[in-house]
A = this chain, B = another copy of it.
Amino acid sequence: MFNPQKQAEEMIRRCGERVTTGRIQVLAILLAEQRAVTHHEIEKRLSDKPRLNRVTLYRVLEWLNEKCFVHKVVGDDRIWHFRANSPTTYHQHAHFECMRCTRVVCLDDMKAEYDSPLPAGYQSREIELRVKGLCAECA
């Protein structure tokens, strides 16, 4: 039984920092999503009533990123896309980006590597492989 809400709360509680409804809601949304989604898409998925303020959502996303619950990718639309981290998510990461609908999908199985050396004095910290093209719906 996969309960994103429960799981999100558990994850945040376990990390020892403050457990707020905003953080739980947002992480739950991301856990339930396979794609990397934007601030705007998350905002639409948030239950109404007293909806989370958009500035707070930005801050929650930044916090989730710092705590390594999620990672973020910028697409050619110049918008951050957020995705919950799976245990396998590492500093070598591949993404697919649809050139038509701007959807971003994490290619979790694909590993990013490089062969040639970097210019002298350059240090590598993260490697990201980006495949651009058309997603199944847009092809």
Contacts and interface: CB of A to CB of B under 8 A. Distances in A.
Nearest to A79: B78
A129 B112 CA distance: 8
Interface of A: 74-76, 78-80, 94, 96, 99, 105, 107, 109-112, 114-116, 118-137, 139
Number of copies: 2
Main SS class of interface, A:
loop
A119 B96 contact: yes
A74 B94 CA distance: 16
Given A78-B78, A119-B96, A125 B135 contact: no
15 contacts: A96-B122, A105-B122, A109-B116, A110-B116, A112-B129, A118-B131, A121-B136, A122-B134, A122-B136, A124-B133, A125-B134, A126-B133, A127-B131, A128-B129, A128-B130
